[in-house]
Structure 1
Amino acid sequence: MSSPFLPAAEGVRVLVRLSPGSSAARVLGLAQRPDGRSDLKVAVKAPPEGGRANAELIAFLADAWDVPKRTLTLVAGAVDRRKTLFLAGDPGPLLARLEVWLDEAARGASRR
């Protein structure tokens, strides 16, 4: 399966499939799109009303990745389950860091 992290000028695009209204905020794994790309599946507690689920998604991922919230922006999918986020920074080190995080998250999920 491909990575949900895509290098971009001055940062990384992150493909996400959001599940709002969950019992807890957590990473659920990866989901493959029909075009072969992968989404990072994330659940959040907030309902999909007034941008609350999007705000919780950004706060949750910023905390998980230990980056300032201001470096993460929603660039597509404001009212859709499929979203594209942009994480600002040097793409090379960010991609490496995110791939390590994804591997660790996958190992943690497989232990449950």
Structure 2
Amino acid sequence: MTAPWRVSSAGISIALRVTPRGGRDSIDGIEQLSDGRSVLKVRVRAIADAGEANRAVLALLAKSLGVPKASVSLLSGTTSRLKQVAVAGDPARLTDTLRKLAPVKSTDEGN
């Protein structure tokens, strides 16, 4: 399974699958979609109404990655469960933190 994030000179972009009204705010690991893409699974307590869930997702990512809220922005997927977000910052540090939050399992581990 590949990592659901891509590194750029300004930071990283992350593919997400969001579950609004998920009972808690958490990062639940990495999942492979039926089309083969990898996504970071995120759940938030907020409802998907008037952008509440999107704001909660951005706040959760900022807190989890140790960056200011202003460093996390939604690139696509405003009304979809599948989203793309950008996180500005040191790509190496952000990638290292993401690996600790949601380790990428290799495909030969029985997945």
CA displacement at 1:19 relative to structure 2:
0.3
Match of 1:3 in 2: 3
Does the 8 Å contact 2:72/2:85 carry over to 1?
yes
Instruction: Provide the residue aligned with 1:75 in structure 2.
Output: 75
Number of equivalenced pairs: 104
Distance in 2 between the 1:55 and 1:69 partners? 10
Deviation at 1:44, TM superposition (A): 0.5
Structure 2, unmatched stretches of 5+, are 106-111
Q: Does 1:42 find its partner at 2:21?
A: no
Tell me the secondary structure at the aligned position of residue 15 of structure 2: strand
**Cα displacement (A) at 1:30:** 1.6
% of aligned pairs identical?
Answer: 34
Q: Please tell me whether the aligned partners of residues 5 and 12 of structure 1 are also in contact (alpha carbons under 8 angstroms).
A: yes
**Closer/same/farther in 2, CA of residues 51 and 90 from structure 1, 3 Å limit:** same
Alignment partner of 1:53 is 2:53: yes
Query: Which is worse superposed, 61-70 or 91-100?
Result: 91-100
- Alignment gaps of 5+ in structure 1: 107-112
Q: Is the 8 Å Cα contact of residues 28 and 102 (structure 2) preserved in structure 1?
A: no
Structure 1: 4+ residue segments shifted above 4 A: none
Equivalent position amino acid for 1:82 in 2: L
Q: Which moved more, 1:35-44 or 1:76-85?
A: 35-44
Q: Which amino acid aligns with 1:94?
A: L
- Is contact 1:3-1:37 (8 Å) kept? no
The range that moved more, 21-30 or 49-58, is 21-30
Give the aligned partner of residue 86 of structure 1. 86
**Structure in which a larger fraction of residues adopt helix:** 1
User: Counterpart in 1 of 2:108?
Assistant: none
